[in-house]
Amino acid sequence: MTDLSATTSSAYKQALEVIASVEPRIAEATRQELADQRSSLKLIASENYASPAVLLTMGTWFSDKYAEGTVGHRFYAGCQNVDTVETLAAEHARELFGAPYAYAQPHSGIDANLVAFWSILAHRVEGPALEKLGKKNVNELTDADWETLRNELGNQRLLGMSLDSGGHLTHGFRPNISGKMFHQQQYGTDPETGLLDYDKVAEKAREFKPLVLVAGYSAYPRRVNFAKMREIADEVGATLMVDMAHFAGLVAGKVFTGDEDPVPFAHITTTTTHKSLRGPRGGLVLAQQEYAPSVDRGCPMVLGGPLSHVMAAKAVALAEARQPEFATYAQNIADNAKSLADGFMSRGAKLVTDGTDNHIVLLDVSAFGLTGRQAESALLDAGVVTNRNSVPADPNGAWYTSGIRFGTPALTTRGFGHDEFDNVASLVVDVLKNTTPGTTKAGGPSKASYALADGIADKTRSASAEMLDKHPLYPGLDLS
Ligand SMILES: *Cc1c(COP(=O)(O)O)cnc(C)c1O
């Protein structure tokens, strides 16, 4: 990370004073958040540290502007500067990912997926349904026509990766709208190897004949062959939607190329901008030209007014990702994940799929006699921030789980390298070996309570501090 100048540092301090003059507790929480992030090992696979340029771009008066519509076609006057912002964000996204079309408005990853789902329905179902009714657009529909259209739209099938295999809740999981608006089925991973079995996915697709085949994941520690997924989609006439929310940074940095780059193969690719891509919190949709007109209707179809200040920050982050240094960063993310995985395995720990070839390492903590919930809490006590995660066919379910998910994007941004990630593995194993599961009030085994051996949390914290001090977060930024 590049050093911030003393002037920038003092500007931040003054900015916090402005905030403190209205609500001092928010200024204090903001200061404390920096202190906490600086002093802990952030291993949450979906988090990162955005650059000061990205962060500063979000704190401006673009926040005050309404700009519903699209570039050049807004429902509000005075959007010329927002047009500049959205045009640049989309242009950087198209160039970076080699996509024919990019839509920078989605407020988050879930919103990007909602835009994608409705775009696919509009393109594949609404158009043909209108034709059947002899109508050119939805404004001409009678009440009876609407009933027909609703039936057509609401009778579609979606096939996505199951949650406990590493899929995301927006890929057809029941509690999410994707699992309610579609008839959904899921494909999983092999229970023995934990790996995707493309023949099984194809078999399921042939049986189920989905309108939408979703690929992409939040907790799968391996690369996906998107050429194969497209072949499967083509064979059954499905639209291939790839959600690269987690690994967009590895696509941007050309770690995933050829069959592992989803953008040329997917009809629609969605992503977040704040995970490995290291931008502001937000979403992005990329599409082949035939889907562009329906994606362009994201607002007002499912989105409200765009967050212009965040779109501006997306443009800045995407410009950063087009620099050669970002490719080095992306390669380091993958190399560091290997060090972390090797570090775990050389100490006898069990990983889902026995390794990684992306940015995720999924540790099965059942061998330590712990649930994911216990392991997550014990690690947090020792200053190691992770999240619990299901493993394939998890006996502890989605709440307690049996796994811990680790990711390397954040600490790689801080400058951690091979030896430090090996050391992280050693610290984690040490904490888990020194954690014992607790008992319930009735005396049975508890899935939540646990006890750490004396001194282990302090020992871990001081070993972490040594590494963290060598790689300061936002160096030069002094709020004291
Ligand atoms: C994180 C994630 C999302 C959701 O992103 P939000 O910005 O939290 O809405 C969607 N899909 C996948 C695969 C993700 O990992």
Q: What is the pLDDT of residues 286-310, one digit of tens each?
A: 999 999 999 999 999 999 999 999 9
CA of 293 to the centre of ligand 1 (A): 24
Percent share of the chain, pLDDT over 70: 100
CATH number of 328-470: 3.90.1150.10
137 pLDDT exceeds 90? no
Place of tokens 């699209």: 70
474 pLDDT tier (thresholds 50, 70, 90) = very high
Start-end of CATH 3.40.640.10 domains in the chain = 62-321
Tell me how far CA of residue 355 lies from CA of 122, 162, 411, in angstroms. 40, 20, 19
* Ligand 1 touching residue 245 (CB < 6 A): yes
1 pLDDT exceeds 80? no
Predicted structure pTM score:
0.96
Q: What is the arithmetic mean of pLDDT over 299-325?
A: 96
Q: Please tell me the predicted confidence (pLDDT) of residue 26.
A: 98
Is 141 within 8 Å of 149 (Cβ atoms)? yes
- Average pLDDT taken over every residue of the chain: 95
Cis peptide upstream of residue 300 (ω within 30 degrees of 0)? yes
CA of 19 to the centre of ligand 1 (A): 30
Q: Please tell me the predicted confidence (pLDDT) of residue 164.
A: 86
398 pLDDT exceeds 90? no
Q: Please tell me the predicted confidence (pLDDT) of residue 113.
A: 97
Which ligand 1 atom lies nearest to the CA of residue 274? 7
Start-end of CATH 3.90.1150.10 domains in the chain = 328-470
154 pLDDT exceeds 90? no
The letter for the amino acid at 295 is V
Q: Please tell me the predicted confidence (pLDDT) of residue 128.
A: 93
Q: Using one digit for the tens of pLDDT, what is the confidence trace for 7-54?
A: 989 999 999 999 999 999 999 999 999 999 999 999 999 999 999 999
CA of 442 to the centre of ligand 1 (A): 39
338 pLDDT exceeds 90? yes
Which ligand 1 atom lies nearest to the CA of residue 216? 13
Beta bridge partners of 74: 69
Q: Using one digit for the tens of pLDDT, what is the confidence trace for 210-222?
A: 999 999 999 999 9
Residue whose CA is at the smallest distance from ligand 1 atom 8: 109
Place of tokens 């994606």: 295
Q: Report the C-alpha gap between 280 and 273 in whole angstroms.
A: 6
Q: Please tell me the predicted confidence (pLDDT) of residue 192.
A: 86
* Ligand 1 touching residue 359 (CB < 6 A): no
Q: Please tell me the predicted confidence (pLDDT) of residue 426.
A: 98
Q: Among candidates 296, 251, 289, which has minimal Cα distance to 116?
A: 296
Residue whose CA is at the smallest distance from ligand 1 atom 12: 245
* Ligand 1 touching residue 243 (CB < 6 A): yes
Q: Please tell me the predicted confidence (pLDDT) of residue 5.
A: 86
Q: What is the arithmetic mean of pLDDT over 385-409?
A: 94
* Ligand 1 touching residue 108 (CB < 6 A): yes
Residue whose CA is at the smallest distance from ligand 1 atom 15: 218
Q: Using one digit for the tens of pLDDT, what is the confidence trace for 70-105?
A: 999 999 999 999 999 999 999 999 999 999 999 999
* Ligand 1 touching residue 170 (CB < 6 A): yes
Is 251 within 8 Å of 97 (Cβ atoms)? yes
Beta bridge partners of 239: 212
475 pLDDT exceeds 80? yes
The letter for the amino acid at 392 is P
Q: Tell me the CATH class for 62-321.
A: alpha beta
Q: Please tell me the predicted confidence (pLDDT) of residue 114.
A: 97
